Amino acid sequence: MKLIIAIVNNDDSAAVASMLTKEKFGVTKLSTTGGFLMVGNTTFLIGAEEKDVPLVKQIINDFSKTRTHEATTTSSYGVGLRPDEVPSEVRVGGATVFVLDVESMDRY
């Protein structure tokens, strides 16, 4: 079994969750914040059999769009916009996906 951790743009999270659950995958959604831009994103935890990992990745890929986001030189410090700052565009996502081995999964 594998644990898929997928960080997805908030705007795509409803469609990703909907398609994954439609395909009968178990999904947990966490509200998270990117450490660089300090804006909200969504992290999915998905426990799946190894044979199903390509389908899970495909769904995430199909429903996660790449976007540009305005960042500032202080974005990475989480201190927000200052009046003298020059914003610049940062390319974000589709999705960032990790696949981990799972030793066991139990429901009590």
Which residues lie near ligand 2BA (CB under 6 A)?
7, 34-37, 41, 90-93, 96
Minimum CB distance to ligand 2BA smaller for 13 or for 41 = 41
Minimum CB distance to ligand 2BA smaller for 22 or for 91 = 91
Spatial contact of 53 and 23, defined as CB atoms under 8 Å apart: no
**Least CB distance from residue 107 to ligand 2BA, whole Å?**
28
Q: Which run of H or E residues covers position 10?
A: helix 10-22
The beta strands (E) that lie in the chain are given as: 2-9, 26-33, 40-48, 67-71, 88-92, 95-101
**Least CB distance from residue 52 to ligand 2BA, whole Å?**
23
Minimum CB distance to ligand 2BA smaller for 21 or for 88 = 88
The residue whose Cβ lies closest to ligand 2BA is 34
Query: HSE on the CB side for 58, CA within 13 Å?
Result: 6
